[in-house]
Amino acid sequence: GTNTHWWQEAVVYQVYPRSFQDSNGDGIGDLAGIIQRLDYLKKLGISAIWLSPVYRSPNDDNGYDISDYEQIMTEFGTMADMDHLIQAAQQRDIKIIMDLVVNHTSDEHPWFIASRTSKENPYRDFYVWREGHDGNAPNDLESTFLGSAWQLDESSGEYYLHLFSQKQPDLNWENPDVRTAIYDMMNFWIDKGIGGFRMDVIDLVGKIPDEKITGNGPKLHDYLHEMNTKTFGDKDLLTVGETWGATPEIAKLYSDPKRNELSMVFQFEHVGLDEEPGKSKWDLRPLQITELKKVFSKWQTELGDQGWNSLFWNNHDLPRIVSRWGNDSTYRVQSAKMLAILLHMLKGTPYIYQGEEIGMTNRIIQDIAEVEDIESKNMYADRIEKGYPEEAILASINAKGRDNARTPMQWNDTVNAGFTTGTPWIDVNQNYHEINVEQALADKESIFYTYQKLIELRKTHPLIVWGSFELLEDTATDVFAYYRHYQGKSWLIVCNFSDQEQTFSLDKPAEKTIIANTENEYHNLLDRTLAPYEAFVIKLGGKTH
Ligand code: TEU
Ligand code: CA
């Protein structure tokens, strides 16, 4: 088409810098370490890196608490390293997508330090300050990390809002000076030649705390339109908003090209499918494949030309997908490949989280002392106080805790998986002897090569990028099968989403196998028995659509 964008054909790789590669033995991943690994990412074939925050930060929430947006976190390196990374990536045709965390700053940001000095300070109104109510917080808004979202500041006797930790005070987007300061900062980064922004909890910036409105506030889209106009609007950048509560209707407000806001959003509807409705992420129930089919089909079909999907199983907040919805023992390799094939054949921009491409798994802890993540720590304290059995709490953390995704990248089977020569800031998953990049590269049948091939296929087959989606309704419950149709051709994707054999039958001629996680022939699709987690993609013969 005429109005296409590079990011519609791209696959993005998320790097969590703290856990990717340490270059100087201090146990903390850094920018120089990422540069060392660019050739690996080039080999995988990705077009862009989403870098989790690398800005100056006291690390209350691992960089999602920023104290200076125009300086690099001391442990990660210098601005010269950052410029070098952008340039070294560019030489390999890889763009750098910066994490934009502007719902809140650190309480150690100079704006907040000034803001809390007095009610009259010019920066006071950069944040959300309110008087208490009869000696209590202004209202009962809660922080995502538990407890009140209001923190009393003794010196002025007023409360400030923090939708995340107490060290993450919320910016006041109603103040035009705040918005201008943010747009200036974004332009500083755009001028460095970055490829775009991933926007942290961007759905919260239109909040009206007095009415207890947090997500999707009335001015949200005015702000984003303004941001677009004042910053990236005339450049072809990838902008992806993190929007936990988005429905397709809401997603179109962000990503309808006519509205000039963002390229796409991360929607999380599938992420919640194994959680008890109305409860928290820690309260689990089994995933129903039927529901997953429904949710994916809805998103694949409803955006039309008024939006663009992002596709992901994993990020730095979520457990490892092979442990969560695949099988991290007997069928680890098969299920990881099935999950990859299922996701990467969909329409949208796929995101791979570091280590997903080698099938890294959750790491199991025995004791709360092993936990680094503030969210898990706060939940533990809260539930201990409420009388939950410790065993149950640890089970929740093992299933859903954010540290599962944050253990160091497993590069080889030398000490600490080749991540660091020092003591890693968080323990390496002990399965690194079997699961590591070196092993994956040496094995032609590894998960890595399935990802590499899927990325290559997307570059060479417009059908994957632009084709329409059609679910096969008439299959076994645990078989997720769909078509992609484009210019008179059709592909069929069939995935056994279970650790049991399943049957599948289709009376249509197969022309050729595109990719599979077995050695099977797929000429005849009638009355087949699918092995656990079997997955294949075929081009259908004849004119099919
Ligand atoms: O996450 C948004 C968010 O709401 C998460 O805290 C989420 O609820 C939780 O992690 C689910 O497990 C973003 C970042 O991705 C996250 O790392 C930050 O902690 C958070 O914003 C605050 O900046
Ligand atoms: Ca380091």
Interface predicted TM-score (ipTM):
0.97
pLDDT tops 50 at residue 1: no
Q: Which amino acid, one-letter code, is at 13?
A: Y
Cβ–ligand 1 distance for 61 under 6 Å, the answer yes
Beta strands in 250-305 (DSSP E): 264-266
Residues forming beta bridges with residue 303, ordered by sequence position: none
Nearest CA to ligand 1 atom 8: 144
Mean pLDDT in residue range 469-491: 98
Structure tokens at 274: 């194994």
Mean pLDDT in residue range 321-349: 98
Cβ–ligand 1 distance for 167 under 6 Å, the answer no
| pLDDT tens readout for residues 499-533 | 999 999 999 999 999 999 999 999 999 999 999 99
CA angle 472, 473, 478 (to 5 degrees): 90
Structure tokens at 31: 């920018």
Any idea which ligand is nearest the CA of 23?
A: 2
Structure tokens at 306: 């008024």
Cβ–ligand 1 distance for 375 under 6 Å, the answer yes
Tell me the domain boundaries of the chain: 10-105+176-366+408-451, 110-161, 367-406, 467-540
Cα–ligand 1 centroid distance for 182 (angstroms): 20
Measured in whole angstroms, the distance separating CA 428 from the mean position of its chain's CA atoms is 21
Superfamily, domain 110-161: Oligo-1,6-glucosidase; Domain 2 (3.90.400.10)
Q: Are strands 310-311 and 349-353 parallel, antiparallel or unpaired?
A: parallel
Label residues 159-192 b or e (16+ Cβ within 10 Å = b).
bbbbbbbbbbbbbbbbbeebbebbbebbeebbee
How many angstroms separate the Cα of 110 from the Cα of each of 1, 195, 357, 371?
A: 47, 28, 40, 30
Cβ-contact 84, 38 below 8 angstroms? no
Measured in whole angstroms, the distance separating CA 321 from the mean position of its chain's CA atoms is 12
- pLDDT band of residue 383 (cuts 50, 70, 90) is very high
- Long-range CB contact pairs, 395-401, < 8 A, 24+: 396/282, 396/283, 396/284, 397/365, 397/368, 397/371, 398/362, 398/364, 398/365, 399/284, 399/319, 399/324, 399/362, 400/281, 400/282, 400/284, 400/319, 401/319, 401/365, 401/371, 401/373, 401/375, 401/376
Neighbours of 156 (CB within 10 A): 18
Cβ-contact 247, 301 below 8 angstroms? no
Half-sphere exposure of 171 (CA within 13 A, CB side): 26
How many angstroms separate the Cα of 370 from the Cα of each of 63, 367, 421?
A: 20, 6, 20
Write the CB contacts of 311 (distance below 8 Å, at least 6 apart in sequence).
343, 344, 346, 348, 349, 350, 351
pLDDT tops 60 at residue 545: no
Domain boundaries 10-105+176-366+408-451, corresponding CATH code: 3.20.20.80
CA-based nearest residue to 143, from 86, 114, 104: 104
| pLDDT tens readout for residues 411-454 | 999 999 999 999 999 999 999 999 999 999 999 999 999 999 99
pLDDT tops 60 at residue 544: no
- Residue 2, pLDDT score: 54
Cβ–ligand 1 distance for 64 under 6 Å, the answer yes
- pLDDT band of residue 127 (cuts 50, 70, 90) is very high
Structure tokens at 213: 């409105």
Measured in whole angstroms, the distance separating CA 22 from the mean position of its chain's CA atoms is 22
Neighbours of 346 (CB within 10 A): 17
- Residue 322, pLDDT score: 98
Asked if domains 110-161 and 467-540 share a fold, the reply is no
CA angle 363, 364, 368 (to 5 degrees): 115
Cβ–ligand 1 distance for 281 under 6 Å, the answer yes
Given ligand 1 and candidates 69, 310, 317, 397, which is best to mutate, with the most ligand atoms within 8 Å of its CB?
A: 317
Output DSSP code: residue 285: -
Neighbours of 255 (CB within 10 A): 24
Nearest CA to ligand 1 atom 5: 317
Cα–ligand 2 centroid distance for 24 (angstroms): 5
65 CA closest ligand 1 atom index: 23
Cβ-contact 401, 316 below 8 angstroms? no
Helices (runs of H) and strands (runs of E) counted in the chain: 15, 20
- Residue 542, pLDDT score: 74
- pLDDT band of residue 543 (cuts 50, 70, 90) is low
pLDDT tops 80 at residue 133: yes
Name the region of 536 (left: φ>0; alpha: ψ -120 to 50; beta: rest): beta
Among 3.40.190.10, 2.60.40.1180, 1.10.8.420, 2.40.50.140, name the CATH number for the domain at 467-540. 2.60.40.1180
Cα–ligand 1 centroid distance for 317 (angstroms): 6
Token pair 């340039």: residue: 87
Dist. CA 2–CA 43, nearest whole Å: 30
Structure tokens at 470: 């059609």
Q: What is the mean pLDDT of the chain?
A: 97
Q: What percent of the chain has pLDDT over 70?
A: 99
